Amino acid sequence: MASREEKKQQKKLDKEAKARAKAEEKEAKAKEKAENKAALAQLKADNKAFKAHLKTLPRKERKAAKREHEDEYLKAEDKLTKRVYQIRQVRGELRRVQWPSFGQLMKSSSLVIVFTILFGLYFFLCELLANGMLKAILG
């Protein structure tokens, strides 16, 4: 069996090893943070340069290029900053949604209204028929 002195010494060595590991982990995180900060600064500079280049493109090409670049930029920024969904990303998603035109919206809405009325009439007639049959049977 190990003596008390040996156990104390072993605990002390374990504690020191844990402290070293923790210090190394902290140092690695600080290094990663510094690298990410530099990469993020480079990413922002590239984004600024792209926005300047975007102004030189024809209008039709500009929108597609901007959308594609914005997707890549947000993905890269998320990897560097490790953020969870933020307002900017939500806005980006909303820009990519294909919203219906006014005509499509009116057609869809009128279709819903017409079918709601038709189903309402159908169930009304079914209820009238069922009531009539019950009255004839019962009395």
Assign 134 a pLDDT band (cuts: 50, 70, 90).
very high
What is the rounded distance in angstroms from the CA atom of residue 139 to the CA atom of residue 137?
6
Mean pLDDT of the 45-53 span: 82
Q: In this predicted structure, what is the pLDDT of residue 127?
A: 97
Question: What are 78-122's pLDDT values in tens digits?
Answer: 777 766 567 777 777 888 888 899 999 999 999 999 999 999 999
Range from 32-46, 58-72, 74-88, 115-129 carrying the lowest mean pLDDT: 74-88
Q: Where are the domains of the chain?
A: 1-99, 100-139
What is the rounded distance in angstroms from the CA atom of residue 80 to the CA atom of residue 73?
11
b/e map 9-42, b = 16+ CB within 10 Å: eeeeeeeeeeeeeeeeeeeeeeeeeeeeeeeeee
What end-to-end distance do the CA atoms of the chain give, in Å?
99
